[in-house]
């Protein structure tokens, strides 16, 4: 039995390296517990793919990878370049390009919101529409399928969208079967569906020469959130500085006039600081 050689088409931004420049290409398809990722090793002739080259490839570029046999070369991932590494020897130059599918957006967004009496699919759609920006409609067909689960109260504070989706998927049910799966499809559409409800048209009857399984998910959050109260009182009991002429935080002294601790006139606590100025232009106190 003859099998046609694999065919590959890839593009990063406006750069489309020919198959002849591709030394190796690995695409890992993920779902629910991880997103898809890729790694491509290119022959970098004359450093044309390097910064400053004729066709530079840089971090942040969107792209796609298509792999198939014969005339059928389907797109298998819509991706974003997250790492570009130049590898050189005295006589050869290579460029290693890697990244993840558009599912990486799920790790970059955090949510501070409360959901009350919301269906599972409504929460998922809200996250996609207002926080992530991934489409969930293909040819007028809704890809976020309905659930039979209503969440009474969910409160989130700076929670990554990825964590919320995993929780919703694990708790949602359909017709009594608990669990949903989700993925970012090759065309960058977000799909959310009951577990074990999908089948693949791929046949594994042919000889499998090699296989590999790996999980590689990382999250980078360069963000610091500082919480505080605008009306915080110092001292905390609001009167510690007027309970004595020499409280723990400092000492009262008179700039002009005579200071004393007066227990007769007080607003709060056991007394107040009194400054008596007779035949003086002003009274002044320093703490």
CATH of the domain at 144: 3.55.50
- Looking at 102, 134, 162, the residue that finishes a domain is 102
* Count of beta carbons in the 10 Å neighbourhood of residue 84: 20
pLDDT for res 269: 77
Say if CB 38 and CB 79 are below 8 A apart: yes
The pLDDT > 70 percentage for the chain reads: 91
Say if CB 26 and CB 67 are below 8 A apart: no
Asked whether the CA dihedral 255, 259, 264, 267 is positive or negative, the reply is: positive
* Count of beta carbons in the 10 Å neighbourhood of residue 47: 15
Domain count, the chain: 3
- Residues constituting the chain: 287
pLDDT, tens digit (0-9, with 9 covering 90-100), for 118-161: 999 999 999 999 999 999 999 999 999 999 999 999 999 999 99
Residue 24 host element (H or E)? strand 22-28
pLDDT for res 204: 66
Q: Residue 232 burial by CB count (10 A; 0-12/13-18/19+): exposed, middle or buried?
A: exposed
- Residues with pLDDT less than 50, the chain: none
Angle at which helices 120-127 and 161-171 cross, to 10°: 160
- Looking at 102, 136, 162, the residue that finishes a domain is 102
Say if CB 184 and CB 190 are below 8 A apart: yes
Say if CB 207 and CB 201 are below 8 A apart: no
CATH of the domain at 85: 2.30.300.10
pLDDT for res 220: 61
Q: Are residues 172 and 151 in the same domain?
A: yes
- Looking at 45, 67, 102, the residue that finishes a domain is 102
Domain that holds residue 140: 109-194
């Amino acid at each position: 039995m003859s099998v046609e050689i694999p065919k590959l088409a890839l593009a990063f931004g406006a750069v489309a390296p020919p198959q002849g420049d591709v030394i190796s290409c690995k695409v890992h398809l993920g779902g629910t517990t991880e997103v898809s990722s890729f790694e491509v090793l290119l022959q970098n002739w004359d450093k044309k793919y390097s910064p400053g080259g004729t066709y530079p490839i840089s971090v942040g570029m969107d792209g796609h990878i298509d792999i198939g046999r014969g005339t059928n070369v389907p797109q298998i991932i819509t991706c974003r370049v997250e790492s570009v590494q130049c590898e050189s020897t005295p006589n050869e130059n290579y460029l290693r390009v890697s990244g993840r599918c558009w599912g990486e957006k799920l790790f970059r967004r955090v949510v501070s919101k409360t959901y009350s009496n919301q269906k599972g699919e409504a929460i998922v759609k809200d996250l996609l529409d207002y926080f992530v920006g991934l489409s969930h409609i293909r040819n007028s067909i809704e890809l976020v399928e309905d659930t039979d689960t209503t969440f009474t109260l969910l409160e989130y504070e700076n929670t990554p969208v990825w964590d919320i989706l995993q929780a919703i998927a694990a708790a949602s049910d359909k017709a009594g079967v608990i669990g949903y799966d989700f993925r970012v499809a090759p065309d960058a559409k977000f799909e959310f569906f009951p577990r074990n409800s999908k089948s693949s048209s791929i046949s594994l009857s042919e000889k499998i020469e090699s296989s590999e399984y790996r999980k590689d998910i990382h999250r980078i959050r360069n963000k610091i959130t500082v919480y505080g109260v605008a009306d915080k009182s110092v001292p905390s009991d609001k009167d510690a500085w007027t309970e004595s002429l020499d409280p723990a935080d400092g000492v009262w002294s008179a700039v002009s006039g005579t200071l004393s601790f007066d227990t007769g006139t007080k607003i709060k606590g056991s007394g107040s600081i009194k400054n008596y100025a007779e035949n003086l232009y002003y009274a002044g106190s320093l703490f």
